[in-house]
Amino acid sequence: MSREEPSRDSAGFARRLMRGCERAALATSLEGAPYASLVLVAADLDASPLLLLSDLAQHSRNIAFDPRVSLLLDGTEGHADRLDGPRLTLLGRAEAAADPRLFARFTARHPSSAVYAGFADFRLYRVAVARGHLVAGFGRIDWIDGADLLFDGETGPLAGAEAEIVAQINRDHAAAIDFHARKLLGREDSGWRMTGLDPEGLDLRRGGDTLRLDFPAPVPTVEAARSALARLVAEACR
């Protein structure tokens, strides 16, 4: 049964799904008929979804006709009953975004996409989220306004420093990244790399596997992000 006013926890839970999922079902309008396809997805620092699509694909032609889209983010993997797991449906508009920073963020999240990201017929889209429908489990269902779904703090300074910080952590603290990945997984994997940083956490990748490491509290400034990462490094060195 849906609640009329979603809780702050619901919005935070939904945003973690937005940041953690790397694939989504994209629904567009094929001259008024629903058309669904599977796409790779990344998230900007405020959690807005990013899509890299070929102009030749049917969903891109549909977006040119009608930019309204829906994305289904599926967090049910690992649940014995998949329908009892969390998922989030987003409604919004796909807007072309010719921003090198967003291209870099997407290709860091999906290294295989770097092969075709520079092709003239590929275009990056940022989804302006209007609202989301969260099913967090049995009886936990909420409609959440887009303004509540997205991180509402300042992200500009961190966006400007992200690439430098990520490169530094990967260069100087690879062992700490492996430590925290193993802590999340409960097994002895190594070779993890940090692919992205945002005010609420960081993204890790090893081959085809991805992990999300959330901060205990949001980091609103570059200094706060560096302090949070220093604490993670110090924990790994104990």
Over the stretch 115-152, which tens digit does the pLDDT of each residue have? 887 788 999 999 999 999 999 877 789 999 999 999 99
Looking at the whole model, is its pTM more than 0.75?
A: yes
Query: What ranges do the domains of the chain cover?
Result: 8-149, 156-237
Q: How far, in Å, CA of 85 to CA of 78, rounded?
A: 9
Mean pLDDT is lowest, of 5-14, 89-98, 135-144, for: 5-14
- Give the model's pLDDT for residue 115: 85
For residue 86, the one-letter residue type is P
Residue-wise pLDDT tens digits, 194-219: 999 999 999 999 999 999 999 999 99
Q: With pLDDT > 90 as the criterion, what percentage of the chain qualifies?
A: 82
With 0-12 / 13-18 / 19 or more C-beta atoms within 10 angstroms meaning exposed / middle / buried, residue 170 is middle
CA gyration radius, the chain: 18
Please enumerate in sequence order all residues whose Cβ is within 8 A of that of 220, keeping only pairs 6 or more positions apart, or say none: 153, 154, 199
How would you classify residue 24: left for phi > 0, otherwise alpha for psi between -120 and 50, otherwise beta?
beta
For residue 126, the one-letter residue type is R
How would you classify residue 207: left for phi > 0, otherwise alpha for psi between -120 and 50, otherwise beta?
left
The pair of three-digit structure tokens given for residue 10, joined into one six-digit string: 């619901």
Of the candidates 124, 70, 61, 130, the residue with the CA atom closest to the CA atom of residue 95 = 124
Q: How far is CA 90 from the centre of its chain?
A: 13
CATH architecture of the domain formed by 156-237: Alpha-Beta Barrel (3.20)
Is 238's pLDDT higher than 50? yes
Q: Which long-range contacts (CB under 8 A, 24 or more apart) does 220-229 make?
A: 220/153, 220/154, 221/157, 221/158, 222/157, 222/158, 222/161, 222/165, 225/158, 225/161, 225/165, 225/197, 225/199, 226/165, 229/165, 229/169, 229/173, 229/197, 229/202
The pair of three-digit structure tokens given for residue 99, joined into one six-digit string: 């921003």
End-to-end alpha-carbon separation of the chain, Å? 46
Residue 2 binned pLDDT confidence (cut-offs 50, 70, 90): very low
φ and ψ at residue 15, rounded to 5 degrees: -65, -35
Q: The domain 8-149: what is its CATH number?
A: 2.30.110.10
Mean pLDDT of 90-116: 94
Is 1's pLDDT higher than 80? no
Please enumerate in sequence order all residues whose Cβ is within 8 A of that of 224, keeping only pairs 6 or more positions apart, or say none: none
Cα dihedral sign, 13-18-23-24: positive
Query: Bridge-partner residues for 137, per DSSP?
Result: 140
Is 32's pLDDT higher than 50? yes
